[in-house]
Amino acid sequence: MSKVIHNPLLAAVNENSSTSAEFVIEPMHAGYGNTLGNSLRRVLLSSVRGGAIVAFRVEGATHEFTTLAGVKEDVVDIMLNLKKVRVRVHTDEPVELRLEKKGGGVVTAADIKTNADVEVVNPEQVIATIDDPKTSVLMDIVVEAGRGYQTIEDSSVKRLHSDMIALDAVYSPVLRVRYKVDNTRVGQETNLDKLILTIDTDGTVSPRDAFEEAAAILVNQYTALAGATTVEAAAPLGHSESNESSELNTPIEDLNLSARTANALVNNEIRTVHDLVSLSDQDLRELKGFGSKALDEVKDKLAELEL
């Protein structure tokens, strides 16, 4: 290993879908692929912020071991279905929501009346089935943000109302993380690692946001332990820090893009190559006035610049 520990580079982000992406990190010193891969995987699975239903109350049921007249599922089945509802929560406080369904048919997560603090990501999730057209289901639901796993005992202690049925909660929005380490080289340096990290989420957070949050959590943890000690941070192997910085600071107007594409980027406050490469394909698609042709043009230009 050289005297200086070079920083890795996020070489590519391959988006398989809105909920799955592959992150290619290289080059790294020998052994650092497993070091970073394992730590990122553990934090991604355990510590990324998410939301979950932690308690509920359904009219006509005093406890979970009972049935509801005119409803196919018993309360235990309804509990299991509620745990499958994925929510995006924009507040640190518990939020109480109401679900009301009248007449026969399927009760889904779309029947939950949300507000500005909560979004339901999988509205198609079935919660119950009403067999009797004269029956109605009225339910109060408590949603909360958190990290990791909360036991049913903890949920019981934190209940907003004592007559609510508590649920254990899996807050983590990351469903699966896989990583593998391959060999790579830069010039005469042949004993280097390439880390390929694949992240699948439940849709409440994007893979890129989950990846960046996990990395930020690790940075905070290690910074707290480092004290006043610092280590020289060197540019990635094979990348000149000054040249790379110069390229990233290049104005959008100097990329020789079509006038329509350049104007769309500038109008959305994207003024340099650095601003551009920090956005995912999905972020670019959501820009006002930015279409698929503009996206293809930008991707071709970044490939040409090897960014």
Domain formed by 51-146+161-167, architecture: Beta Complex (2.170)
Segments making up each domain of the chain, as ranges:
1-48+172-238, 51-146+161-167, 240-307
* Contact predicate 89/146, CB 8 Å: no
User: What pLDDT sits at residue 239?
Assistant: 59
What is d(CA 137, CA 101) in angstroms, rounded to the nearest whole number?
5
Average pLDDT, the chain: 88
Q: List residues bridging with 126 in a β-sheet.
A: 108
User: What pLDDT sits at residue 179?
Assistant: 96
**Region label for 123, one of left (φ > 0), alpha (ψ between -120 and 50) or beta (otherwise):** alpha
Is the pLDDT reported for residue 206 higher than 70? yes
Show the CA angle centred on residue 143, arms to residues 140 and 145, nearest 5°.
170
User: What pLDDT sits at residue 52?
Assistant: 96
Is the pLDDT reported for residue 241 higher than 50? no
Burial of 153 (C-beta count, 10 Å sphere; 0-12/13-18/19+): exposed
Is the pLDDT reported for residue 246 higher than 60? no
Q: Per residue in 277-303, pLDDT tens?
A: 777 788 888 888 888 888 888 888 888
Is the pLDDT reported for residue 244 higher than 60? no
Is the pLDDT reported for residue 81 higher than 90? yes
Show the tokens assigned to 116. Answer: 């500005």
List the alpha helices (DSSP H) in the chain: 32-47, 75-82, 152-157, 207-226, 241-248, 259-267, 273-277, 281-285, 292-304
- Superfamily for the 240-307 domain: 5' to 3' exonuclease, C-terminal subdomain (1.10.150.20)
Top-ranked range on mean pLDDT: pick from 160-164, 212-216, 233-237, 271-275: 212-216
Is the pLDDT reported for residue 237 higher than 80? no
Same-fold call for 51-146+161-167 versus 240-307: no
For domain 1-48+172-238, give the CATH number. 3.30.1360.10
pTM of the model: 0.73
